[in-house]
Amino acid sequence: MCFSNVLPWLLFFFFFFFLLLQNGNATEEIQTYIIHLDHSLKPSTFSTQEFWHRSILKSLSSPAAGDDDMLLYTYNHVMHGFSARLTQSQLSEIENSPAHLATYRESFGKLFTTHSPRFLGLNRNHGLWPTASYGEGMIIGIIDTGIWPESESFNDKGMPLVPPTWKGKCENGTDFSQVNCNRKLIGARSFSKGLKAAGRKINPEYDYDSARDFFGHGTHTASTAAGSLVEGVNHFGYARGTARGIAPGAHVAMYKVLFATDTTETAATDVLAGMDQAIADGVDIMSLSLGFLQTPYFNDVIAIGALSAIEKGIFVVCAAGNDGSYGSINNGAPWITTVGAGTMDRTFTATLTLDDGLTVEGISYFPESVYITDAPLYYGQGNESKAICYRGALNKSEVHGKLVFCDNTTETDVEGQKEELQRVGAYGGIFMTDLSLLQPEDYSIPCLVLTTASGANLRSHLTNTTKVKSIKFISTNLGVKPAPQVAFFSSKGPDPINPGILKPDILAPGVDVLAAIAPNKPYMDIGKYDLATDYALYSGTSMATPHVAGLAALVKKVHTSWSPAAIRSSIMTTAYVVDNTHSVIRDQWTGLPGTPLHFGAGHISPNKALNPGLIYDMGFQDYVNFLCTLGYSKKQMSTVIRRSEWNCSKEQSELNYPSFIAVFNQTVYPATKKFNRVVTNVGNDTSVYGATVEIFPPAQGLRITVDPDTLLFTQRNEKQYFSLTVEIAANTTEPVYGFVKWRDQRNQFTVSSPVVVITV
């Protein structure tokens, strides 16, 4: 073949190969990234960060779209940077810029999902509520699923005018407009660009493309933190009474960042945008009942955003998570107040009476205010001594229309057994377990859960001819013991990112909390009927978090100059660790006494938090000094503190935290660790405090000493230093702990801090 014949083929293949290359570039995958930049390198020609960011995007080669499509958010407060949709090639161009500090690939997080004010000792006539004017003038920013503005919990009757410092607004959107806001709900915005960029479509049948709440979670947390007084609320007859938030006089601002898509997730870009806007708007408290996978602080968008808020004096409180196991803490950065969930002294029960007169009581949330009478009871067939209720185990012809006593229930399979009863058309179920994982919405047929002791008593009375004479539902019992307990689902320490900071910080009510929800969809179904409600019982560290947000608003209202660390200290050092049986707060799952890895400093005690006597205070520089000890690179440090230059103090790098945890990783014992702390007198002008040490259990080889053990104060705001030394005699497989308590000479104040020892 001559050259003249080959050339056309060579040109054809060259052109074909060129098209393949172009096609490969054109289809390069696009991802969402958060880009953190060094603000000091912004050219002076750009008047705003957003102009700079758009210029960066316009300068990229081979843009996949216009910069208006690429740019999602500009961040001005939580960090200096932006989020955008980029190809890997475009990202590489940005990362080669001297101004680039860090890149975060889009990630997705999840939610941590009338009586509690009374349980917490809040009273209209005395104590924290009237002293703090119910939190009047405070603004609580809720980062959540949105809000149902028509709920009575957000009526503004008696509310003061919107604070002049407020810069926020109510955005127009699907079924939401500015007229939905008032003097209670003063701001509402939604952030969904990150979710949409990731292909998570907001289906109008399942959510609103606005700040309106579809899921109900955000309405619940907002009303728990700052809901107005609403009389006559209940959960289908249970928990009847008056609903009110912990800070009912406070204003609410909602930042919707989570939408009910097919995955029900929240994008990091959207959460960061919500936090950024909350800072700009001027909130006093920021509450987040959601989280992401645990990661070092320089990759943790909530930690980075929270530190920016703390620097501006905003108190940030986050949920610890619902994973339940040790080392599963979320949101454990030391500048965040991390909250675990506890039970209250309230249960909801039904009473069952047999035809022979035996009466037993069990847990139930079945929404019926009628008696069940003369119902046949199934307990095995023929010579069988018990009913096995595993999936597929029951015969429909034997149990249809009957109450079934399931004799093989465990904590983890009670929901599956309930579903088995529904499958075969049973009238209802009786389960036997000391810990029920059934949620209120799971009671779609008449059910009650007996303790093993009550169940054994019932079993001894059963025969093939036994009938249930009656079951009476809707009983609300107060003063139940033991309470509080650490909820079985509440995440426990140590913090996997930094075990040297004791987390959670505090425990608050998080089980069966009654608050407002969105009434736009069925809450549950009973047979052929769908039931909706505007108030419901929810459980989770999500529910515990707004309790602390409301409490922080009350404390901040009284102590306007206190830092977020001072407010947290007052909440932690006045907490209690003894339940209403005078025993250490127990773990609901095991029934055994808990430790500070379960409950942190203890359960919140709002009235005492108002006047703690002494506080452990910290400022932004203290957190910088702490970060300097973690071995972060210059870029990693810059991403957390949003600065290109900083000073690391060599004198004080240890955080002045109101709790202590000593982590030993060695083979030679005894071993010691020394802590240094400073306390500030916020009580009486002249006070003398003495230190006492309590150790649990006492015979574990733990020794705690305090030097000096007496502190003399001659004026308010005076500071005194002390050191605490922990000595452990031998390696131990279980955490051992104690408390150091400072008491003044008048016995007016007790300032308590947990001291925990763990060995690795």
Q: Which residues are identified as catalytic? A: 144, 217, 542
Beta-sheet pairing, 251-256 with 100-105: unpaired
CB atoms near residue 536 (< 10 Å): 27
List the structure tokens of 749: 């104040």
Separation between Cα atoms, residue 659 and residue 412, nearest integer Å: 34
List the structure tokens of 264: 């029900």
Cα 571 off chain centre by: 17
| Beta-carbon contacts of residue 380 (< 8 Å; ≥ 6 apart) | 386, 387, 407
DSSP label at residue 321: -
Separation between Cα atoms, residue 166 and residue 253, nearest integer Å: 10
Going edge to edge, which strands form the sheet with 81-87?
Answer: 71-75, 81-87, 30-37, 100-105
Contact between 737 and 596 (Cβ < 8 Å):
yes
Separation between Cα atoms, residue 362 and residue 310, nearest integer Å: 46
CB atoms near residue 755 (< 10 Å): 24
| Beta-carbon contacts of residue 382 (< 8 Å; ≥ 6 apart) | none
Separation between Cα atoms, residue 128 and residue 116, nearest integer Å: 15
Separation between Cα atoms, residue 107 and residue 301, nearest integer Å: 10
Q: Which uninterrupted H or E stretch holds 314?
A: none
* Buried/exposed 611-627: b ≥16 CB within 10 Å, e otherwise: bbbbbbbbebebbbbbb
Q: Which uninterrupted H or E stretch holds 329?
A: none
Beta-sheet pairing, 139-144 with 285-288: parallel
Separation between Cα atoms, residue 451 and residue 538, nearest integer Å: 22
- Residue for token digits 């990759």? 299
Give the helix ranges, DSSP H, for 433-488.
452-459
Separation between Cα atoms, residue 541 and residue 247, nearest integer Å: 18
| Beta-carbon contacts of residue 425 (< 8 Å; ≥ 6 apart) | 396, 399, 400, 401
Going edge to edge, which strands form the sheet with 671-681?
Answer: 614-615, 671-681, 719-728, 702-707
Q: Which of 657, 680, 671 is nearest to 753 (CA)?
A: 657
Long-range pairs, 393-397, Cβ under 8 A, ≥24: 393/420, 394/420, 394/421, 394/423, 394/424, 394/426, 395/424, 396/423, 396/424, 396/425
Contact between 756 and 502 (Cβ < 8 Å):
yes
Separation between Cα atoms, residue 114 and residue 125, nearest integer Å: 17
Bridge partners of 361, per DSSP, are 351
Separation between Cα atoms, residue 289 and residue 720, nearest integer Å: 36
CB atoms near residue 5 (< 10 Å): 8
| Beta-carbon contacts of residue 690 (< 8 Å; ≥ 6 apart) | 709, 710, 711, 742, 743, 745
DSSP label at residue 518: -
Separation between Cα atoms, residue 742 and residue 116, nearest integer Å: 29
Separation between Cα atoms, residue 576 and residue 571, nearest integer Å: 10
Q: What is the 3-state secondary structure (H, E, C) of 404-419?
A: EEECCCCCCCHHHHHH
Q: Which of 638, 746, 588 is nearest to 298 (CA)?
A: 638
